[in-house]
Chain A
Amino acid sequence: MYNELKKPAFQFDLNRCTGCQACAVACTLENELDLLHSWRTVYTFNEAHEPNLPQFHLSMACNHCLDAPCLKYCPALAISRDSVSGAVLIDGGKCIGCKYCSWVCPYDAPKFNRTAGIMEKCTFCQPRLAEGLKPACVGICPTDALQFGAYTENRNPEIPGFPDRPVRPAISIIALRGNNRLPQMDCTPFDPQLTPFLSNHSRKFEPKITLSSEWTLLLFSLIAAFSVGWFAAFVVFSSAFDVRVFAVLCFAGMGISTLHLGKKLRAWRALLSWKHSWLSREILFFGLFTIPAVLYGIGFLQNTAGGWLAVVFGFAALFAMDRVYDVLPQYAPGWHSARVLFTGLLVFSLLGALREFAVVLLLAKGIVYLRQKFTGLKIGQALRPALSVLRILIGIFLPVILFFLNGNNYDYKILILCGVVIGEVTDRIEFYLQLDLSPEWKKYG
């Protein structure tokens, strides 16, 4: 039986690893993966040999964390812990291929298998463990840098790029021997002016989230925000409503959201982990919003309480949707201006003629937006001037000015709405662009 105290764990000695890649190749062969893929990756720090920094390597696969975020947040309950080895395992028969586990993993362990449409990752080599052998990578490592031992609660030493998160990874890393971090070198001292000639050195890693792969989620989240806001305005202020358009919007949104799944037919499994995963909750709440809302819209549900209930679920869905991103370890969006909950409220106040509230929200969004732009620039994010102008001028200034020019004018209303839609879409696009989930070590090189 699995005993947390005796839990197996990787051990990795930075002094010994030469970056030879044998572990990663062993993984490919043992697990009979496509020859170009491996569940283990060796990252090199300071490939350019910056003279004041050591060069070293980090060989990483799954660390089978004791508080595994993938296991906790998988919406489909496809990830479990092996009762004997403590390995965190993905059940290929249950995985829906939503990739959320790879987003929440600080170590980039789960890998998407395009052919199978599911996520896969290191299993500690279950069949080998069953035979009393060590995982293949450990057995193959020629320098014994990678070993297999028992888990200890000791925190890992501070290693540049190694995200020591409170997830209790089953790996202990032996740091570089203290006084021997860098050889004493006898070459022309490095002139910082030459730094530009060293830049762009790191290998280009495929970003985990890209607009082109995640546009379906972007669309879904905006559709959700607009439909919730719209319906709430209808219930609370009896503003104009067209249930046919509304129903098409909601169901299309749900349909689109399944498009990014590797296993679309298993989409229903996404609801299974409503107890733990905000991803499940988001879908559950959105369903609980859509159905009564449509029924209410066609007049089947007469009771206003039903409408109000739908509104509550609607905003809960938006709240859950924001939480989905809040838990990502590498990314703390905080009060991002593109939070869908606020988009929903904005639409609600706009359509519901809460003019002052809408203006306040818009201005607040503008301030938050500018603030995140400045902090973003400081940490090296792109400025994206065209999007920024669109966001601020069309998405905020235009509606606010039109409001003051008499927002009840019908033409203006349309214009205001258009401005808001453009602004929110732009903001959401930037949100996805900023969502950099590459593990910290990938930023070295």
Chain B
Amino acid sequence: MPEFVTACPRNCYSTCSMRVSVRDGRLRMIEPHEENKATSGGICLKGLSYIERVYSPDRILNPLHRTASGSFEKIDWEDALNLICKNIIRLKNEYGPQSILYYTGSGTKGLLNAVGMNFWRLFGGCTTTYGDLCWPAGLEATRLTLGENKHNAPWDLENARLIIFWGKNAAETNIHQMVFADRALQNGAKLVVIDPRRTQTAERAHLLIQPRPGTDGALALGLANVLIHDEKPDISFISRHVHGFTAFKKLVGKYTVQKVSEICGVSPDAIIQLAEWLGEIKPSTINAGFGMQRFTNSGQTMRAMIALLAITGNIGKPGAGWMFANLQSAVFDVVKDPIAFYPPQQPDGVVRVSVSTAKLGPDMRAQSEPPLKMIWVERGNPVTQNPETNMVLKAFRQLDFRVVVDQFMTDTAREADLILPAKSMFEQSDIIGAYWHSYIQLKQKLIDPPGEVKPETEIYYLLAKKLGFSEADCKDKIPAPGDASIESWLQERILRFPDITLDRLREGPVEAPGHEAVAFADLKFQTPSGKIELYSEQAARLWSVDPLPDYRESAESGKRATGKNDKYPLYFLTPNTKNRIHSQFNNLQLIRRYSEKPEILLHPVDAAARGISNGNPVRVFNDRGELRLPAKTDAGLRPGCVLVTNGWWISEGGTVNFLSAARETDMGYGAAFHDNRVEVEKTINDK
């Protein structure tokens, strides 16, 4: 049976290398590729479920047009393209091209994703978003402190003697990392998990600390306080490589164990225990997750966390460091994240970068001169995934024309006037990087798109033809359809890296040129001071925050209780699970057999206080919206926290973003949608 190499392009740490067997032109089985040292163990259930996803009877295979009655009917490409041209030309003439919002999500990685924006530029412009839903606060905090977002190779974790998973549930979101954590444990390492819930990752840990959500910054400062008090910091490392230690020392003086214990709701013993380990066990690695940096104070939180490693000399060594994001494979980007998604300092007058991803709903409605009239959505499902679903829906429904490119009838697609069928990862070749390991990989075309599916590049190409863009204009920007043309376009991008050829990539993954297995081993930091900056004037200048990573209560913190907050006493956790990548995959039978419907987890204490037992129907609500779900008790949650996993569709029982707020993080233009409180009440079962 022929076997081909490809890679999973999802927004997932692992970005697995795969071997795919094909029988009679049909994908049959997916297996790991041994050359990717980070993911050679295996493929997760989502990766396996591609076999179903590609051939799912629910897949959209034709352009679909909304009829007057509101249902969708199949139309052919000619009509679909004409409809698009008619609308975008009219809008351009009437309001200007910036009345069109080009919205892309993180649904699939690839260099060809750039073609969309190339098209809109040729068209004369558009409006687009800045910021990102995922990780900006952490990226910016890391950039401000260490100068760059990079970390040690994934497998280096097995050299760590102390591993802290801080707000990261690797067992579900980065399962391959558990292999290295387990090896470290076998060698006698200590494992600490800091998370408001007892996660799968916590199960094999030595210590689980469950702080009140949003208070991790205070916890980090408290740990630093104990370390400094016990004279544990690595003074020689600090004097050579750390900027602002004296000021930092003064700051953490305020964060006594007692005070931090009160802020975080964590016992003094646990704080002292972890501080002791941090002071004595070397090397230490902190794996920081993304969920924790979606609070209004989280940039500062992350800076305080990195400071712990800086003052203990845990940077630039094997087994040590700050594992947040590893952008070493982003060699094709001229400007790397997070800067790449900031609004330009000087608007170019063509593309208006004026809609905050974090505040999509309100910002879409607030645009003027011109107001938004149309949206084009690609690789995303903003209706369920961006904060404040009700606001996003409102903004969508005010538009004249909505185009959504997708494989399935998502809640966003349901809002469209025109749905265009999207390719799957096996239907067009592309090159992808990763953000945990540093492999460059080829996501290879293995089968022809089914039905009437056309890759996005081809859609843009056909539109360009219809709009009469010249060959010369399109050259390099919009590749012509066909495998040869796509490959030569990709070839063009990798030309400057002699080690990376398409033929080599067809064999397996290649490590990015210049990648470092131990990041910052040279102890050079691209910060203004050239050192690790605990004190950052840049932070203060760019984001109007304290130059030191001081702690502030987050927007919806219970300690800020205003009358309004008291109405919603429960912290609402909305983590990702092993079953989905955001809102992808749960529509498949192979996944749904393990995650049938959304439910809300409550600690038995909170359930009992509300007279709720397992399985009872409940209403979760705040001023922004509500969800109706069955309750499930979980004694592993921190009391006062309730949890619904992220990514459910409205049609499956409801997205958590009905309840989240459209707010930005303190830095990086991230979405602070985990800063969220709710109340839960028992409802009478409707049926």
Are the CB atoms of B179 and A50 closer together than 8 Å?
Answer: no
Quick check: is A178 within 8 A (CB to CB) of the other chain? no
- Known contacts A143-B178, A197-B604, A200-B615; decide if A136 and B42 are in contact (CB<8 Å): no
Select A197's contact among B44, B172, B179, B614, beta carbons within 8 Å: B614
Q: Is the C-beta of B417 less than 8 angstroms from some C-beta in chain A?
A: no
In whole Å, how far is A191's beta carbon from the nearest beta carbon of chain B?
Answer: 8
Segment touching A, from B48-56, B345-353, B440-448: B48-56
Say yes or no: B608 contacts A197, CB within 8 Å.
yes
Chain B neighbourhood of A194, CB < 8 A: 604-605, 608, 635
* Contacting residue for A26 out of B48, B176, B593, CB 8 A: B48
In the complex, A20 has a CB within 8 A of chain B: yes
Q: With the chains together, A54 CA to B203 CA distance in Å? A: 7
Q: Which of B42, B175, B578 contacts A139 (CB 8 A)?
A: B42
Is A15 touching B204 in the complex (CB atoms < 8 A)?
yes
* CB of B463 within 8 Å of the partner chain: no
| Given known A-B contacts A15-B185, A18-B178, A20-B45, A55 and B209 have beta carbons under 8 A apart | no
Contact with B along A167-180 (1 / 0, CB 8 A): 00000000011001
**Chain B residues with CB under 8 A of A28:** 590
B-contact bits for A3-42, CB 8 A (1 contact / 0 none) = 0000000000001101111101110111000011000000
A184 touches B182 (CB 8 A): no
User: Is the Cβ of B608 less than 8 Å from the Cβ of A186?
Assistant: no
- Cβ-defined partner of B605 (8 Å) among A141, A144, A188: A188
CB-based contact B633/A185 at 8 Å: no
In the assembly, what is the distance between CA of A56 and CA of B200, in Å?
9
CB <8 Å contact, B209 and A186 = yes
**CB contact list, A254-297 vs B, under 8 A:** none
| CB-contact partner of A29 in B48, B634, B635, under 8 A | B48
Q: Which residue of B lies closest to A18 (CB)?
A: B171
Collect the chain B residues with CB atoms within 8 Å of residue A35's CB.
52, 588-590, 593
Given contacts A35-B589, A49-B634, contact A180 B204 (CB under 8 A): yes
- Expressed in whole angstroms, the minimum distance between the Cβ of A187 and any Cβ of chain B is 5
The A-contacting residues of B in range 251-275, CB under 8 angstroms, are 266-267, 269-270, 273
- Smallest distance from the beta carbon of A193 to chain B beta carbons, Å? 8
What residues of chain B lie closer than 8 Å to A176, measured between beta carbons?
A: 204
Taken together as a complex, chains A and B put the C-alpha atoms of A18 and B41 apart, in Å, by 13
Name, among A18, A26, A176, the residue most crowded by chain B CB atoms within 10 Å (CB to CB).
A18
| Cβ distance A100 to chain B, nearest Cβ, rounded Å | 27
Q: Does A199 contact B (CB under 8 A)?
A: yes
Taking CB atoms, residues of chain B closer than 8 Å to A165 are none
B31 at interface by CB-CB < 8 Å: yes
B42-83 contact mask (Cβ, 8 Å, vs A): 1 or 0:
111100110110000000000000000000000000000000
Q: B637's closest neighbor in chain A, by CB?
A: A49
CA distance A183 to B638 in the complex (A): 15
A-chain residues with CB within 8 Å of residue B200 when the two chains form the complex: 18-19, 55
- Whether the pair B44, A200 counts as a contact (CB closer than 8 A) is no
Fill in one digit per residue for B625-661: 1 if any A CB lies within 8 Å of its CB, else 0. 0000000111111110000000000000000000000
**Which of chain A's residues 135-171 have a Cβ closer than 8 Å to chain B?**
136, 139-144
Q: Roughly how many angstroms separate A56 CA and B202 CA in the complex, as a whole number?
A: 11
The residue in B178, B270, B613 that gathers the most chain A C-beta atoms within 10 A of its C-beta is B178
| B198 pairs with A16, CB closer than 8 A | no
Q: Does B336 contact A (CB under 8 A)?
A: no
| B182 surroundings in chain A (CB, below 8 A) | 15-16, 143
Q: Using an 8 Å CB-CB cutoff, how does the interface string of B586-622 with A read, 1 for contact, 0 for none?
A: 0011100110000000011101100011110000000
Chain A residue at minimal CB-CB distance from B634: A49
Check A48–B208 contact: CB distance below 8 A: no
- Bound together, the chains give a CA A139 to CA B21 distance in angstroms of 14
Q: Mark B1-39, 1 if CB is under 8 A from A, else 0.
A: 000000000000000000000000000111110000001
Interface residues on A, range: 35 or more
Task: Collect the chain A residues with CB atoms within 8 Å of residue B185's CB.
Answer: 15, 177, 180
Given known contacts A140-B31, A177-B185, is B44 in contact with A20 (CB within 8 Å)? yes
Instruction: Assess whether B210 is interfacial by the CB under 8 Å rule.
Output: yes
Q: Does B205 contact A (CB under 8 A)?
A: yes
List B contacts of A200 (CB < 8 A). Answer: 613-615
CB distance from B408 to the nearest CB of A (A): 16
Contacts of B44 in A (CB 8 A): 20, 22, 142
**Is there an interface contact between A198 and B203, defined as CB atoms closer than 8 Å?**
no
B445 CB to closest chain A CB, in angstroms? 21
A34 (CB) vs chain B CBs: closest residue:
B589
| Known contacts A15-B204, A25-B590, A140-B48; A186 and B210 CB within 8 A of each other | yes
B224–chain A nearest beta-carbon distance, Å: 19
> Is B206's beta carbon under 8 Å from chain A?
yes
Given the interface pairs A21-B45, A29-B29, A54-B203, the reply to whether A186 lies near B590 with Cβ below 8 Å is: no
Residues of B within 8 A of A190 (CB): 604, 635
State which of B41, B203, B267 has its C-beta within 8 Å of the C-beta of A142.
Answer: B41
- Given contact pairs A142-B44, A180-B204, enumerate 5 new A-B contacts (beta carbons under 8 Å): A51-B636, A136-B29, A142-B179, A187-B639, A201-B632
What are 30 A-B residue pairs whose CB atoms fall within 8 Å in the complex? A15-B204, A16-B178, A20-B172, A21-B578, A22-B48, A30-B29, A48-B633, A49-B198, A49-B635, A136-B29, A139-B31, A139-B32, A140-B43, A140-B48, A142-B41, A143-B175, A176-B204, A177-B185, A180-B185, A180-B204, A180-B206, A183-B193, A183-B207, A183-B208, A186-B208, A188-B603, A190-B604, A191-B605, A194-B605, A197-B613
> 8 tightest A-B contacts by CB?
A49-B636, A142-B42, A197-B604, A194-B604, A183-B208, A18-B171, A35-B589, A186-B270
